[in-house]
Structure 1
Amino acid sequence: MTSTRREQTAALRADRSGSGPTVAERPPARFPGASAAFALFGEVLLIGVLVTLVSLPVVTLPAALAAGIRHLRRFVAAEASQVSAFWADVRRAALPGALVGLVATVLALVLLLDIDLARSGLLPGGAVIEVVGWIGLAAVSVVVLSAAGAWSPERGWRPALRAVPALVRADIAGAAYLVAAAGFVVVLAWMMPPLVIAGLGCAALAVVAVPTRRRRR
């Protein structure tokens, strides 16, 4: 009797997690790993911690995001999502991704300097320059997040970056969501720096979730 109950409990757990056959006659979940909200929340926080650690040199942020995004994709699909796979992705993405991170960092600093100068009143047409600066920062954030989401060890960074314009054209609203995710990270870091950990995890989850959302036709 005890053995039967244990088997039933194990079957229910496998059903809920998506790792095994369903108990009831119904289609399998689209994202079985996301069925347990608390577990997903914990995984997002874990990825936030790992991405923060890897991106401490700043230029490694794209590689950290790429590895975190791939980890969360595996998790929500109820595939093997060991932390060791995250570190393996970091090793493969880090060196080429550092160049992407360096270019993105330089562009962001230049745009921030332009915004600061525009606000100081030293430049003619400061209001226009400030708007252009914010648009440029939004574009940099979309490129970094989209490229990180498109990266894979097989493709590398060049194809991932080349895919960004097509991804944006195919889903303008999705690009706006990514800008909002990047803005969310900045606001959290401004309010309380430790919250950037949760913000980076949420940004990685946004890259996973945005392309798969239901869209109006």
Structure 2
Amino acid sequence: MPHRELPIPLSAPAAWPTEEPPAARVDWRDRTALATDLALIGTAVTVLALPLVTLPAALATGSAAVRGRYLDGHLPPWRRLFQIYRRAVLPGLATLLAAAALALDLAAVRGGWVPGGPPLLAVTTLAVIGLSGVAALALAHLGRTPDLPWREAARRPGNHPKCVAALALTNVVAFFLALAVPVTVPLVLGFHLFAIHMLTDRLTR
């Protein structure tokens, strides 16, 4: 029988190695737009907080605005932010009363109205700074989920002590920056809310 040679299958040519497209770089225009939006948020929070009793509601609304800008690249609708502000006024009153009580306690210890002297003043100051970190983390949770009950937002920081400590330190820096140049308070507020969300995302994973 004549010998028939079977055709040798040709292997498919090796695919040319492909490289992943480079990650999009953020240019100066994006950074400028972000800085402008943060300044706008800080200014709005300052104006809304002028009656003082609306300070917690203004901060919660600013947190939601920063979160929307941080995730979506643009500010949330103003109608949505107004709804968040309106719902946060009453829960914020209890928070404001607690903050006022702490401020009075610190003033009493510092003024020597109660016994204890410098040791008690140091302990009270550290307690106030630590509670400011708790408040900052709760504020970040309210920005993430505006419909979250404030009591639930206040419970969650207990699971993230490192994040609370980092936020407390950030609060101290922001406080002294605003105290040194009071006219920069709106700018400090907007950028500080942004820093709170950045730190929270990194330290609560």
- Name the TM-score, length of structure 2 as normaliser: 0.75
> Percent of aligned pairs with the same residue?
29
Kindly provide the CA deviation profile for residues 76-130 of structure 1, in whole angstroms up to 9, marking residues without a partner as x: 212552351322211121211121122112212212321232xxxx765412111
Q: Tell me the SS of whatever aligns to 1:163.
A: helix
Alignment of 1:96-175 (within 5 A): 96-117=91-112, 125-151=116-142, 152-168=145-161, 172=162, 174-175=163-164
Q: Secondary structure at the match of 2:102?
A: helix
Equivalent residues in 2 for 1:20-39, closer than 5 Å? 25-26=21-22, 36-39=30-33
Does structure 1 conserve the Cα–Cα contact (< 8 Å) formed by 2:48 and 2:55?
yes
Q: How well do the aligned residues superpose, as a CA RMSD in angstroms?
A: 2.7
Q: Secondary structure at the match of 1:162?
A: helix
Displacement after TM superposition at 1:189 (Å): 3.1
Q: Secondary structure at the match of 1:213?
A: helix
Equivalent pair of 1:59/1:102 in contact (CA under 8 Å): no
- How far apart are the structure 2 equivalents of 1:155 and 1:166? 17
Give runs of ≥4 in structure 1 deviating > 4 Å.
Answer: 26-29, 122-125
Q: CA deviation at 1:48?
A: 1.0
Assess, with a 3 A threshold, how the Cα gap between structure 1 residues 214 and 93 changes in structure 2: closer, same or farther.
closer
- The one-letter code matched in structure 2 to 1:150 is H
> Higher relative contact order at CA 8 Å, sep ≥6: structure 1 or structure 2?
2
Q: 1:154 to 1:214 in 2, by over 3 A?
A: closer
Inter-CA distance 56–140: structure 2 relative to 1 (3 Å threshold): farther
Shift of 1:138: 0.4
Spell out, residue by residue over 1:177-212, the C-alpha distance to the aligned partner (whole angstroms, 9 max, x if none). Answer: 312222233213322222221221122112210022
For structure 2, the residue ranges without an aligned partner over 5 or more in a row are 1-19
The answer (yes or no) to whether the contact 1:188–1:199 under 8 Å persists in 2 is yes
Whether 1:57 aligns to 2:51 is yes
Does the 8 A contact of 1:66 with 1:93 survive in 2? yes
Distance between the aligned counterparts of 1:35 and 1:128, measured in 2?
A: 50
Larger radius of gyration: 2
1:176–1:187 distance in 2 versus 1, CA, 3 Å: same
Please say if residues 64 and 90 of structure 1, whose CA atoms lie closer than 8 Å, have aligned partners that are also in contact: yes
1:27, distance to aligned residue in structure 2 (A): 6.0
Count of equivalent residues:
181
Query: Any conservation in 2 of the 1:44–1:198 contact (CA below 8 Å)?
Result: yes
**Structure-2 residue corresponding to 1:82:** 76
Distance of aligned partners of 1:59 and 1:167 in 2 relative to their CA distance in 1, 3 Å threshold: farther
Are 2:57 and 2:88, in contact at CA under 8 Å, matched by a contact in 1? yes
CA distance in 2, matches of 1:182, 1:149: 13
- Contact between 2:110 and 2:121, CA under 8 Å: does it hold in 1? yes
Structure 1 gaps, min length 5: 1-23
89 and 26 in structure 1: CA distance in 2 versus 1, 3 angstrom threshold: farther
Matching residue of 1:7: none
CA contact (8 A) 1:68 1:204 kept: yes
Contact 1:73 1:208 in 2 (8 A): yes
